[in-house]
Amino acid sequence: MNKFYIIPNKKEIDYFKEDLILPLEGYSIGFDVYFSIDEINKIAKSRNISVIINIFLHKNKLEDFKNIINKLENIEYYFIEDFGLSNLLPKDKVVIMGSHLINNYDSINYFNNLGIKNIVVNNELTKEELVQIKDNTNSNLFYFLINRNMLMYSKRPLISSYYEYKNINGNLKLNIKEKSTKKELIIKEENRCTCIFDNNIFSANVYLDLLDKYNFIINLNNMSDEEVDIIMKHYKDKDLNKYIKTDNYFLDNKIIYKLGDKE
């Protein structure tokens, strides 16, 4: 049976009844709200809480990170994008988030052999690839069921650098249309780092029956209040796309980009 986790886009978390994944303040990027150690510990006294850490750390930040982790209490999972952090955390609580990298069962089984059994599977895969993965691994699999996918994360202040070059002022969150593909994108700069998101809401709900071994993550960040309300009412429904415009292009169209892929 699928388990659902919510990444909230606001701090009024009583609105969300499922288990929560909270972005850790100072150690995550691309979200609408961040939670301090004290906030997380307080919530974890009465709720099932995991944290997400999706920035890559420099070596000189490791001691600070160790101190932060030691202060957190009652955490179910640590969702991490920097694989090296798995050496500083209990392996049974580590969930590897490889973004575009975790895309086949060989990789997942390799992590399993290292003692890391919790994996977020790339949601740029076809439904057939997702079924193949769940049928050929015994790891604990997670999947972003609903999400505005992050296409890029840079530790460069791309928007403010552009403004400085052009000698103009402007917002650090932009909605643009890519010139050649006409694809709509969201660009956000925060703390001198930049993220680019697909403006389309990715959803795999139409194929819920095929994904029976996955734990599902619903990421509500970069969503409007109206979008959040609709998603929270229908996030377990196969026909979510009847209530809100969603995109499942990757599920139906194989993208040749992975190591080992052939035309």
Q: Which CATH number covers residue 221? A: 3.20.20.70
Same domain flag for 109 and 155: no
Contacts of 165 (CB under 8 A, 6+ apart): none
- 126 and 141, same structural domain? yes
Are 108 and 178 members of one domain? no
pLDDT at 130: 96
Tell me, yes or no, whether 121 and 163 share the same domain.
no
Q: Are residues 88 and 142 in the same domain?
A: yes
Host domain of residue 179 = 149-199
122 plus 158 within the same structural domain: no
125 and 206 share one domain: yes
pLDDT category, 255, cuts 50, 70, 90? confident
Same domain, 79 and 204: yes
Residue 50 pLDDT? 98
Confidence band (pLDDT; 50, 70, 90) for 59? confident
- In the sheet that holds 193-198, the strands lie side by side as 150-154, 193-198, 184-190, 173-177
Same domain, residue pair 41 and 157: no
Task: Report the domain count for the chain.
Answer: 2
Co-location of 133 and 156 in the same domain: no
pLDDT greater at residue 34 or residue 2: 34
Q: How far is CA 41 from CA 37, 59, 176, 223, in A?
A: 6, 26, 38, 26
Is the pLDDT at 258 greater than 60? The verdict is no
What is the rounded distance in angstroms from the CA atom of residue 115 to the CA atom of residue 230?
39
Q: What is the helix (H) or strand (E) element at residue 144, kind and residue range?
A: strand 140-147
256 versus 48: the higher-pLDDT residue is 48
* Sole residue written with tokens 């099932």: 48
- Domain termination site, one of 199, 214, 240: 199
* pTM (predicted TM-score): 0.94
**40 contacts 67 by C-beta, under 8 angstroms:** no
Q: Is residue 257 part of a domain?
A: no
Q: How confident is the model at residue 257 (pLDDT cuts 50, 70, 90)?
A: low
Residues 241 and 210 in one domain: yes
Please tell me the chain's helix, strand, coil percentages from 3-state DSSP, rounded to the nearest 5: 30, 25, 45
Angle at alpha carbon of residue 220, lines to 216 and 226, rounded to 5°: 125
pLDDT (tens digit per residue) in 167-218: 999 999 999 998 888 899 999 999 889 999 999 999 999 999 999 999 999 9
Residues 100 and 192 in one domain: no
Domain assignment present for residue 263? The answer is no
